[in-house]
A = this chain, B = another copy of it.
Amino acid sequence: MPQTKILLDESEIPTHWYNVVADMPNPPTPPLGPDGKPIPPQALGAIFPEALIQQEMSGERWIPVPEPVREIYRLWRPSPLFRAYRLEQVLGTPAKIYYKYEGVSPAGSHKPNTAVPQAWYNQQAGIRRLTTETGAGQWGSALALAGQMFGMKIRVYMVKVSYEQKPFRRSMMQTWGAEVFASPTDMTESGRKILAADPASQGSLGIAISEAVEEAASRKDTNYSLGSVLNHVLLHQTVIGLEAKKQLEKIGEYPDVVLAACGGGSNFGGIAFPFFADKAAGKKVRLIAVEPTSCPTLTKGQYAYDFGDAVGLTPLMKMYTLGHDFMPPGIHAGGLRYHGDSPLVSQLYHEKLIEAVAVPQLATFEAGVMFARAEGIIPAPESCHPVRAAIDEAMKCKKSGEAKTILFNLSGHGHFDMASYDKYFSGQLEDYEYPAAAVAASMQRLPRVG
């Protein structure tokens, strides 16, 4: 039996993050202000610290990981790389399947990879409090953990319906010392406005973002923190791919295909970008973003300038979008419901340097269960997406007889998502394909630029 886990010593935690901008054929598109002109970096200073704004704009290939961040990374990093040997046997495929497992972090997902440096840079800038929004709670718990590590106050605006229906992520955040409020609250102008119109509002991610940003912008000691989409977030996540490359190197392997779930893009960028560096240098490797058919941003959206939030408060970003007023249908991969996508991921996709595929919900859970029964680990619904795509690739290999090497990012475990599995088993879930007509209608409502 081949080696199951490829481990690295904690001295091998990357000393630098990889910035994909340095290897992109074209410079990234700038974020635009309401006037259609590129917004100056200092405009972001009200909610982000200087160091993160610099990273957001940087073209440097390698950006050093501060030692205090590496020290916290050591609590769970380097994360293990697994050979899915038992899954290969079940499939009867000649393909070799590897997965990088990010569920070993105390928060259970890859999110702390960026939460920790974000908290640290803010603390270094004299900031004492961070606000953020969270839906099901994965990002909020990562930031709660990170804040606790550097003695910072974390305030999480949690979408009310999740706050009430998913109390366990909330308890997790509180265990790490964060304040968690059901959004809309009466503590912000944004929240009060919503409540005045609808006192029974169940909240939404868009409203929670507005509350978090409003508070951060109005207090000098407080900044705002975002868990995906932005360049610096994807930058921090490249520790995943950098470690995976080193781990595969140790056993003399290199992937033919790299797969990851793609919502805002941090999961995909985290594992795929370090391999893009090789691709840019001429190496053959396919990088595939996997999204749900119910929220097919890359595969069905349009590449255009759009708002990052639902209400239109953020700068305009050029990205694949389903329209900022896209209403996500009730799918259970909460982390993949975003209407847009990382501008960096979008640009690479637009330039046909990376690929994308959409997978339906039932087949995705089917793959997750198959994986759990072969490999033990129960994947988070988001992570079931690349599992599905990896199985599909492996089955193509079975047909063709090719012994390809497949790598995917198992970005988190499903311990807080068992209710979704329950619904899958009891037949309460269904497939949903976001209708082309709805996409077309949303496109009519894209903001005009300039």
A94, CB-defined interface residue at 8 Å: no
**How many copies of this chain?**
2
Would you mind naming 7 contact pairs between A and B with Cβ atoms under 8 Å apart?
Answer: A3-B10, A5-B10, A149-B376, A169-B418, A172-B415, A175-B418, A176-B373
Contact with B along A81-110 (1 / 0, CB 8 A): 010001000000000000000001111100
Most buried by B among A7, A169, A369, A375: A7
User: Which of A68-76, A263-271, A301-309 sits within the interface?
Assistant: A68-76
A418 touching B71, Cβ below 8 Å = no
Q: Which 10 pairs from chain A and chain B are nearest by CB?
A: A106-B376, A168-B418, A171-B418, A415-B415, A4-B74, A171-B422, A75-B376, A171-B421, A106-B377, A175-B372
Q: A415: which B residues are within 8 A, CB to CB?
A: 108, 168, 172, 415-416
A303 CB to nearest chain B CB (Å): 38
* Size class of the contact patch on chain A: 35 or more
Q: A167: which B residues are within 8 A, CB to CB?
A: 418-419, 422
Interface residues of A in 367-406 (CB under 8 A from B): 369, 372-373, 375-378
A200, CB-defined interface residue at 8 Å: no
Given A171-B419, A171-B421, output 4 extra A-B contacts at Cβ < 8 Å. Answer: A86-B149, A168-B419, A177-B373, A415-B415
B10 touching A176, Cβ below 8 Å = no
* A421–B425 CA distance with the chains assembled, in angstroms: 28
A104 touching B104, Cβ below 8 Å = yes
A209, CB-defined interface residue at 8 Å: no
For A422, the closest partner residue in chain B by CB is: B171
Interface residues of A in 407-450 (CB under 8 A from B): 415-416, 418-419, 421-422, 425
* A175–B369 CA distance with the chains assembled, in angstroms: 6
Q: Which of A's residues lie within 8 Å of B, judged by CB? A: 1, 3-5, 7, 9-10, 71, 74-76, 82, 86, 104-108, 145, 148-149, 167-169, 171-172, 174-177, 369, 372-373, 375-378, 415-416, 418-419, 421-422, 425
Most buried by B among A108, A415, A425: A415
A235 CB to nearest chain B CB (Å): 22
For A177, the closest partner residue in chain B by CB is: B373
* A367–B76 CA distance with the chains assembled, in angstroms: 21
Q: A171: which B residues are within 8 A, CB to CB?
A: 418-419, 421-422, 425
* A172–B149 CA distance with the chains assembled, in angstroms: 31
A419 CB to nearest chain B CB (Å): 7
For A365, the closest partner residue in chain B by CB is: B175
A414 CB to nearest chain B CB (Å): 8
B375 touching A75, Cβ below 8 Å = yes
* A369–B172 CA distance with the chains assembled, in angstroms: 10
Q: A5: which B residues are within 8 A, CB to CB?
A: 10, 74
For A168, the closest partner residue in chain B by CB is: B418
* A416–B375 CA distance with the chains assembled, in angstroms: 20
A228 CB to nearest chain B CB (Å): 21
Most buried by B among A9, A86, A105, A106: A106
B108 touching A172, Cβ below 8 Å = no
Q: A176: which B residues are within 8 A, CB to CB?
A: 372-373
* A198–B142 CA distance with the chains assembled, in angstroms: 47
Q: A418: which B residues are within 8 A, CB to CB?
A: 167-169, 171-172, 175
A172 touching B74, Cβ below 8 Å = no
A246 CB to nearest chain B CB (Å): 15
* A422–B167 CA distance with the chains assembled, in angstroms: 9
